[in-house]
Amino acid sequence: MNSAKRYEIFTRFRAANPTPTTELEFSTPFELLIAVLLSAQSTDVGVNKAMRRLFPVANTPQAILDLGIDELKTYIATIGLYNTKAKNVIATCQILVDQHGGEVPPVREALEALPGVGRKTANVVLNTAFGEPTMAVDTHIFRVSNRTKIAPGKNVDIVEQKLLKFVPKEFLHDAHHWLILHGRYTCVARKPKCWNCLIADLCEFRDKTPAPSGVLDPAAVAAAAAAEAAIPAAS
């Protein structure tokens, strides 16, 4: 894919959604960190439901430590792998209190040193809480990057590096949100909704999904309108 196509793709994403953000609900960097830590192999919807119960009771590292692991589990029991995640949350809170004054450090190395926090989680926090132009490559971004050919790669590390290299600088801060949302709602895993995709004409995926019966294909409608406009008017 050439640079002109990439620029147009992100121009359209920005026009459709000028201020994208995560669908996880949070009000502080710490709340975001905990929500992302808990979101592994879970849905944002499920995490948000649990956080709406937890955060009014405890939304600081010390408050969660005071709550204790057993009580914490009662708030997050609906989330997958909650036993392991509860241990990681408690251990993370202890490190934040002991080493960072109860604050979330805006530094990758410090974030990745926290239990349960890998590169992807650190990237989400650095981007969403601290405004850094990072790429948190999840399953959606990996799929969209490869399928569209925006930044194809065999693994998430290659895709991340290609995105950082190829995405125009003016779009870098918001790019990972646009790509996640596009993968979550349009460029879905099994049958991408190509007939309802705002970048279908730029995407280099060959086996595009046709519109379902009875659903108008916007691309076909646009092509028909263009063809009609090109026909000289009868004298």
Active site residues: 120, 138
DSSP 8-state class, residue 103: S
Amino acid letter at 92? T
- Give the 3-state secondary structure of residue 131: coil
Binding site members: 187, 194, 197, 203
d(C-alpha 14, C-alpha 27), whole Å: 24
Cα separation values, 104 from 17, 31, 94, 129, 136, Å: 28, 10, 12, 10, 18
- Tokens 């010390």 belong to residue: 62
Start-to-end Cα distance in the chain: 44
CA torsion 208-214-215-218 (nearest 10°) is 80
d(C-alpha 71, C-alpha 89), whole Å: 12
Binding site members for [4Fe-4S] cluster: 187, 194, 197, 203
DSSP 8-state class, residue 149: -
Q: Are 153 and 145 in contact (CB under 8 A)?
A: yes
Q: Are 192 and 186 in contact (CB under 8 A)?
A: yes
